[in-house]
Amino acid sequence: MSNVLIVIPTYDERDNLPRIVARIRAAVPAAHLLVVDDDSPDGTGRIADRLATELPGVHVLHRERKQGLGAAYSAGFRWGLARGYDLLVEIDADGSHPPERLPALLRAAERADLVIGSRWTPGGRVANWPRRRELLSRLANRYARLALRLPVADVTGGFRVYRAAALSRILLGGVESRGYCFQVDLTLRAVRQGCTVAEVPITFVDRTAGTSKMSAGVLFEALWRITAWAFRALSGPAPAPTGPRS
């Protein structure tokens, strides 16, 4: 298998972190893991440190304060790209993304720059999500897809594999999105830069421990950024790729 880094952002995931780490290691034993913790008040960072001393290939990036899921991934990706990993993976700590599907996602990355573990592609689904949350996700997806003309079923999905060369180009110039709209932001950049995108169906299962960090601020950021990107695309040509292809 290529050199794989799995980035796990955490904020108050004390009960979930050891479980997801064990499941990931069972699914893809050779992969390395990077926990990006934003000084979780519940002590998740200390649990991550303990896992890193006990298990080879587990690393921790500590950040000073909660700065959002997108900012955590940006920092984790920079860490991984600087160390030469070939494939960089996004996964939530709460167990809602099934690590058992990682081998299928990694196989798909042999033919695509970006692979999304997809809830809304045929064969994908969600389980135990409150009806209100599922509706919100479906609406947000539809709005992002239509407003930005993205040929992707699960634009907001957070279970992904990026090829390193593509991710370096996508991240060039920095990413301003702090919250969940980071997923839409990177999908848009990938598509505009001509990256190949594949979707692999997954079953997304709602968390059983801890709470979602979805907030009005996260929603508002997504709404205004997606709308601004859509207007920018209408009022001029799509921005050219910002870096050389490798």
Ligand X SMILES: Nc1nc2c(ncn2[C@@H]2O[C@H](COP(=O)(O)OP(=O)(O)O[C@H]3O[C@H](CO)[C@@H](O)[C@H](O)[C@@H]3O)[C@@H](O)[C@H]2O)c(=O)[nH]1
Binding residues for ligand X (CB under 6 A): 9-11, 13, 36-38, 66-69, 72, 92-94, 96, 137, 156, 158, 180, 183, 212-214
Between 13 and 199, name the residue whose CB sits nearer to ligand X. Answer: 13
Closer CB to ligand X, residue 37 or residue 221?
A: 37
Query: Measured from the CB atom, is 156 or 193 closer to ligand X?
Result: 156
Q: Which is nearer to ligand X, 3 or 67 (CB)?
A: 67
- Closer of 96 and 193 to ligand X (Cβ): 96
Which position's Cβ is nearest ligand X?
Answer: 158
Cβ proximity to ligand X, 104 vs 234, nearer residue: 104
Which residues have a Cβ under 8 Å from the Cβ of 230 and sit 6 or more positions away?
A: 147, 148
Beta 58-62 vs 32-37: how paired, if at all? parallel
At closest approach, how far in Å is the CB of 246 from ligand X? 27
Q: How far is the CB of 136 from ligand X (least distance, A)?
A: 8
Q: Are 90 and 158 in contact (CB under 8 A)?
A: yes
Q: Among residues 11 and 85, whose Cβ is nearest to ligand X? A: 11
Smallest separation (angstroms) from ligand X to the CB of 72: 3
Note the Cα 160 to chain centre separation in Å. Answer: 6
Nearest approach, Cβ of residue 84 and ligand X (Å): 23
Distances (CA, A) of 221 to 28, 224, 227: 34, 5, 10
Give least dist CB 131 to ligand X, A: 15
Residue 168, token pair as written in the block:
């370096």
Question: Please, what is the minimum distance in Å from the beta carbon of residue 231 to ligand X?
Answer: 22
Write down the least CB distance from residue 245 to ligand X, Å. Answer: 28
